[in-house]
Amino acid sequence: MTREFQSWMRQVWLSLIEPVPIARQVLAYRFDLSTLWTAMVLMGILSTLALVILQQVAPLPPEMQAQARVISPFAFAALVISLLCATGFAIFKVGRILDGTGTLQQTLAVFVWFLAVRLTLVIIHIVITLFSYNIGAMFGLVTGAALIWCLVNFINELHGFKNLGTALGCLILAMLAVAMVAVTLLLLAGGLQPPGGTI
């Protein structure tokens, strides 16, 4: 393994077990909005590719597949990118409503970092699932919980909340807002399924 890869994996590990110092490091950087939105789009594209691959090696049950309609790769990527951008903006907006202090630039920086960590774990999940579906499923559950812990701490540090409960509330409200947007899009599209067949 290269030194860069080892360094990145260490950052991923620290993001999960010690998210506060990592969040502070990310918030210390100064990025312009155009760079951050571009990074969000890139994360959306890479996340789409990873999700499609993961769902090929770990497909949904046939009865759930029958309820979905296949869309083009570009449409699915556009949907993922839109929802990620909406989530980032919702975390910013809801946080400010709850008297948070994070700026849009800071929110996007923290969220892009979080997405990069999540993407790394999805790739690892794919590799594990290729060898063992059951171990891959357990890995997905454990890392899912760890990612929630990571994001709640990131939001708490971002908005300067006094406790993790407020940060969790911010995340829940933001996700509910995005969920309403997602449901609307799904209803308009008549049910969606990523390209490549099963999901």
Give the closest residue to 149 by CA, choosing from 170, 164, 163.
Answer: 164
Average pLDDT of the segment spanning 89-116? 96
Structural domain boundaries of the chain? 31-189
Split at pLDDT 50, 70, 90, the class of 103 is very high
Task: Using the Cα atoms of residue 99, residue 109, residue 44 and residue 3 in order, give the sign of their dihedral.
Answer: negative
Strand partners, 70: 193
Residue 75 is predicted with a pLDDT of 77
Q: What stretch of H or E contains 22?
A: helix 19-28
- What does the alpha-carbon distance between residue 130 and residue 140 come to, in Å, rounded to a whole number? 13
Q: Is residue 140's pLDDT more than 80?
A: yes
DSSP state of 61: P
Residue 67's contacts (CB-CB under 8 Å, 6 or more residues apart) are: 191
Separate counts of helices (H) and strands (E) for the chain: 8, 0
Contact 171, 110 (CB under 8 A): no
Residues above pLDDT 90, as percent of the chain: 62
Average pLDDT, the chain: 87
Q: What is the pLDDT of residue 198?
A: 41
Query: Could you give the CA distance from residue 197 to residue 199 in angstroms, rounded to a whole number?
Result: 7
What are the tokens at 191?
């049910």
- Max CA separation in the chain (angstroms): 48
List the one residue out of 113, 91, 121 whose CA is nearest residue 26: 113
d(CA 27, CA 100): 14
Residue 80, pLDDT > 90, answer no
> What pLDDT digit, counting tens, does each position of 11-29 carry?
999 999 999 999 999 999 9
- Residue-wise pLDDT tens digits, 178-191: 998 877 766 665 55
Exposed/middle/buried for 90, CB within 10 Å: 0-12, 13-18, 19+?
buried
Give the model confidence (pLDDT) of 108-139 as tens digits. Answer: 999 999 999 999 999 999 999 989 888 988 99
- Per-residue confidence band for 71, with pLDDT thresholds at 50, 70 and 90: low
Query: What percentage of residues in the chain have a pLDDT greater than 70?
Result: 84
Residue 187, CA atoms < 13 Å, CB-side half-sphere: 6
CB atoms within 10 A of CB 14: 15
> What is the reported pLDDT for 45?
93
